[in-house]
Structure 1
Amino acid sequence: MPLIATVTPGTISVESRSVTNTTNGRVPSVDFARDETLWSDSMGVGYINEASPAVTRLLSAVSSSIGIIPITAPFPNSSFTLQFYAPALKCESLANAKKNGQPVGNCNNCTSLQTLWDDTIDSSFAANYYYWQATKPVYSQNLFFIRAGGGKSVGGDPHNISCQLWNASYTTKFKFNDGVQTTLIQDLAYESTMEFNTSVAFTSLPPGGRAYLAMYLAMSDLLSGEVGIRQGLSSSGMFGSDLPVVKTGLMACPEVLAGWKAFGSREPPLDQLVSPWMCRNNSVAAAVEDMFQNLTLSLLSSEFLNGNTTTDIRVTSPKNFWRYGPLDLLISYVAGVAVAFVALLVGSWALIANGYSADVSFSSILLTTRNPDLDGVAVGQCLGAQPLDRNFEKLKLQLGVVGRTDGIEHAAFGIRGTVKELRKNQECI
């Protein structure tokens, strides 16, 4: 049984499991109705002139990191989902944009999308050597035009892209694993284009309109410009290398690299300065959309531009559980019983083999220590312990058959040499 008592605790172990609970907590959110002076500069004339430093600084971080600026995790391992309305760019080929009836607005040259494109994009022969050309039509319905790949007349494969600002519905999941953020847009629905542009005064803009236009202007300023080589000059060098767009991942898009290679450019070696992963979704149109979505989602990380809301947060945390192992318990008890049974067998065999049994009762001690030899040794010893005669300490005793003064022999401890051997089945009276 002592063995069983020692082994039994081993049948219970502690294991750690992840437990998920839902709690309601505060998280960052978009807040376009926040103080609108934080979003843009008016130059004192009541119209949007350019995006504020808070917006451009955030876009610079987004474009250079080619990702979303993370927020502080509400819990190290947690997740939550937000649904909100925010701006989004919708980019498509010029041909598809015309087919889909992309609205152009009421500007002077807005008679048609093709007319607006022709009046906005540089079509000179020198422009054929640009493998990136982007600009925004003035006072259009928040459009942005991009031509990537160079002109056909010089061996390029131009890709004409039209982007437009939309109001969109975002359903986004934020997940944190040990504090590291993963963001997934579960649903993005383009609701409507904006019926206002930068020609509308602040007082006539709808709530949040100033923020939408500020983000559009910041994105336009980042992407605008021409990148390529100078007509008639060496293919070495990059025209427009100081533009902000060159510092983004858009230079890694296949359309841009194809134009760079078509012109035989050598320095700088653009293909060695970028990597395919830098062009998100592997096309200019999709990468521009992705960058603007990243800007929108990164608003949550800006202490100057974000708001806050409450939502359900799924929190995962480790918890210790006791695990009971019935098989281990059964094994320990079976082993204990088996050992006890073996000990019982050995004891029974010893009892049968020796032919004598005893216990530690007073009567057993009395009867096995009464004989003339021990009585003689004990003479003069007044105490049972100290002081004890050294000769008495060295005296060796043996269990066997000893005689008494009346001549009757019995089993007892006697001095070695005066004791007969105790044999099995020997009669002892």
Structure 2
Amino acid sequence: MIATFIIAILLAFGQHRLYKSLHHTSEPDEGKRIRVVLYGRALAYFSKVAFGTGVILSIRQRTWRALRDHAFSVWSIDQLFLATEDPSLFVNWETLGKAPIVVALALIVWLIPLATIIFSPGALTFGDFLEVSSDHLNVPTLNFTAESYKDFRKPVVIDGIKKRSLLSVNTTDVTADTEGWFDYYDKPSVDLQRVSLMTAYSLRDQSLNVEDARQRSCGGDFNCTFTISFVGPSYKCEELARGEQDDQKLADAGAPWTTAVLAPVGRLAYIADVYTGEYARPQLENLGEGGKPENITDDLGFFKAEPVLWIGFSIDSKENLTKGAPHSDTWITRYDPHVFRCVHYETNYTVGFNYSGPYFETDIKYDYLSPVINTTISRNPDTTLNNPEPATSYISPRTDVPLYKKTAAYHALGQQLRQFLSGRIELQPPIPGPFFARAYSDITMTRLVTNTSSTPKKDLIKLVPDFYADIILSFFSAPQMLVVSSERVFVNQTRYRSAFKYDALKLWACYTPVIVCVFVALVIGAWTIWEDGTTFSVGFSRIMVTTRNSTLDHISRGACLGNDPFPMELMQTRLKFGVLAEHTEELEYVGMDPGSMGLGHCTFGVESELDPIVKGRRYAGLRYPRIEAAAKLKTD
């Protein structure tokens, strides 16, 4: 009983280990998939056999105990001995009433296959599952410091790719042999222009990227999320006017115009001043080879100021004007003017990437560090401009060359953005009509305007920095750019795979009740063995010796073939297992009285001819065979 219980648990654990080894593993060979599933079912089957064998051994002990305690009809005795084969045991009131423990144990045997063979293999399935993992991987990032040390005379080649700069430069000496030579900024490079144009005209509201960006960044066929950080340029924007009442605030801030130019007072839906303080190109006239001027001035190539973006726009509130309200003679709905200012800043970017299939999303956070060029341009009362101040903040190509080149890269990027923002959009009022917009700005080619009216979107103050960030992040679509680098970061990876899925909880939910019930059954069987002082079996030899009773011989005449149907009168005879009160054949054989030897004959019989079996007394059996009785008689 103990051995079968241990073997059954080991088989169940073997099924668990097999399923666990298959968990989340893919197997393209369907034949092999079927084989491993059958291996699991085989373990479940053998486990069922082992569990059932242990319970059957307990049933045998309890069956003999029940037959000793109560007299049963031959019919019921048949059912008790066939408890694991004949389910009619469960609807027989005699067995239910006199042998409830046997019936309960038999029920366990009948239910074990339900849990082990039928339900436990269901813990292993095959289908799609979400695989979650993480790793430290190299992902693309941006390093604008690389522009600080770029020399157009020395090509930078990495992994067989010639790296491209963000800017084109002029020089005072192409050969770099003349004392005091220096390079100075000319214009954005063609590669920068191409990337910025493709981003601006893209129909997708996000940055550009290479086609296999997900595979490169996620480490294979995964979806993934990760975060990168880098320092680059950004525009820090603040709103200075909302409505016509803020004109004085604009004048104090040095704005180039007031809200009067915007609808509904004026006729503009959008206006931008983005070139005040712009770097002059060309710096000097009559440039020679490589942009070398005839006479080099002291401030040649200086960055003295970075243009501030002054942007005004007016939004249709969609609220109808009442009769007699201001501007109701020309406008049907109320227009709200807004003015904001953006300053070019060096910024720490924190960008979260989320790749999912062919798509990706970015979550950008800005930490503004300092202005790219920390100077201001003031206006005189007559609207003329003063020189940028302070002069100590000018950036020269002769002194701090790395800083100058990085500032030139930032300026080139800002210059590309400003070309899309400059200009204006005029609105023809709906009264007397017709109502239409006339664009004099490339902003209408970008996603910063609505598709319906070609007027700016209402959250333009937020969209401008994000649009600029998209241009910068779009360099990932051009790995040949010098600023594109790599960074090792922590990447969270997910993907759906077709593989085996194992639910250990489901498996042990099937086996735990079986183990508990079988354990209880074995305890009952062991307790019964201890109480009886011996074990019992239902083999032919055991049945033969327990039915050696002249009374049974008499009532069973004419039914010796063991055939069905069996005589009904005999089936209804009530028999019990006990000690035959008469002399046994063994003692008669040796000519001795059973009382003197204390050896009784245990057998089936009618209740009136039997005495109860008592633990500790001597009975004719394996421990006291007939030959021992004869030897003892001879000695006496």
TM-score between the two structures when normalised by the length of structure 2: 0.41
* Deviation at residue 181 of structure 1 after TM alignment: 2.0
Q: Work out the CA distance in 2 between the residues paired with 1:66 and 1:124.
A: 27
Q: Work out the CA distance in 2 between the residues paired with 1:411 and 1:236.
A: 115
Superposed, 1:337-356 pairs within 5 Å as none
Q: Work out the CA distance in 1 between the residues paired with 2:341 and 2:468.
A: 14
| Bigger Cα displacement from structure 2, 162-171 vs 204-213 | 204-213
Q: Work out the CA distance in 2 between the residues paired with 1:43 and 1:239.
A: 38
The one of 208, 220, 224 equivalent to 1:78 is: 224
* Deviation at residue 286 of structure 1 after TM alignment: 1.6
**Conservation of the 8 A alpha-carbon contact between 1:77 and 1:179:** no
The one of 149, 159, 166 equivalent to 1:39 is: 166
Q: Does 1:88 align with 2:234?
A: yes
Q: Does 1:62 align with 2:199?
A: yes
Q: Work out the CA distance in 1 between the residues paired with 2:205 and 2:539.
A: 90
C-alpha distance 332-230 of structure 1, shift in aligned 2 (>3 A)? same
**Conservation of the 8 A alpha-carbon contact between 1:27 and 1:310:** yes
Superposed, 1:8-23 pairs within 5 Å as 8-9=116-117, 10-11=119-120, 13-14=123-124, 18=130, 20-23=132-135
Q: Work out the CA distance in 2 between the residues paired with 1:50 and 1:240.
A: 26
Q: Does 1:191 align with 2:318?
A: no
Q: Partner of 1:324 in structure 2?
A: 505
Q: Work out the CA distance in 2 between the residues paired with 1:235 and 1:421.
A: 110
The one of 32, 50, 73 equivalent to 2:187 is: 50
C-alpha distance 124-29 of structure 1, shift in aligned 2 (>3 A)? closer
* Deviation at residue 219 of structure 1 after TM alignment: 0.3
Q: Work out the CA distance in 1 between the residues paired with 2:492 and 2:539.
A: 71
Q: Give 3-state SS (helix, strand or coil) of 1:324's partner.
A: helix
The one of 394, 403, 407 equivalent to 1:209 is: 407
Instruction: Output one character per residue of 1:265-311: Cα deviation in whole Å (capped at 9) or x when no partner.
Output: xxxxx74668xxx94xx422222122112223333343133211212
Q: Work out the CA distance in 2 between the residues paired with 1:188 and 1:272.
A: 31
**Conservation of the 8 A alpha-carbon contact between 1:202 and 1:210:** no
C-alpha distance 41-237 of structure 1, shift in aligned 2 (>3 A)? farther
The one of 130, 139, 142 equivalent to 2:268 is: 130
Instruction: Output one character per residue of 1:385-422: Cα deviation in whole Å (capped at 9) or x when no partner.
Output: xxxxxxxxxxxxxxx978xxxxxxx83499xxxxx999
Q: Does 1:146 align with 2:254?
A: no
Paired amino acid for 1:245:
I
Paired amino acid for 1:315:
Q
The one of 141, 153, 159 equivalent to 1:29 is: 141
Q: Partner of 1:105 in structure 2?
A: none
**Conservation of the 8 A alpha-carbon contact between 1:411 and 1:422:** no
| Bigger Cα displacement from structure 2, 283-292 vs 175-184 | 175-184
**Conservation of the 8 A alpha-carbon contact between 1:80 and 1:175:** yes
Q: Does 1:312 align with 2:511?
A: no
Instruction: Output one character per residue of 1:69-94: Cα deviation in whole Å (capped at 9) or x when no partner.
Output: 34612222322221221111012234
Superposed, 1:244-263 pairs within 5 Å as 244-252=442-450
C-alpha distance 336-207 of structure 1, shift in aligned 2 (>3 A)? same
**Conservation of the 8 A alpha-carbon contact between 1:50 and 1:218:** no
Q: Work out the CA distance in 2 between the residues paired with 1:172 and 1:222.
A: 24
Q: Does 1:226 align with 2:364?
A: no
Q: Partner of 1:117 in structure 2?
A: 256
TM-score between the two structures when normalised by the length of structure 1: 0.58
Corresponding residue pairs, total: 322
* Deviation at residue 221 of structure 1 after TM alignment: 0.4
- Whichever structure has more helix as a proportion of its residues is 2
Q: Work out the CA distance in 1 between the residues paired with 2:510 and 2:262.
A: 85
* Deviation at residue 250 of structure 1 after TM alignment: 2.4
Q: Work out the CA distance in 1 between the residues paired with 2:485 and 2:343.
A: 26
Unaligned runs of 5+ in 1: 100-111, 253-269, 338-356, 364-399, 403-409, 415-419
Q: Give 3-state SS (helix, strand or coil) of 2:144's partner.
A: coil
RMSD: 5.0
Q: Partner of 1:394 in structure 2?
A: none
Q: Does 1:287 align with 2:463?
A: yes
Paired amino acid for 1:191:
L
* Deviation at residue 208 of structure 1 after TM alignment: 2.3
Q: Partner of 1:302 in structure 2?
A: 478
* Deviation at residue 192 of structure 1 after TM alignment: 0.5
Q: Give 3-state SS (helix, strand or coil) of 1:251's partner.
A: coil
Q: Work out the CA distance in 2 between the residues paired with 1:67 and 1:82.
A: 17
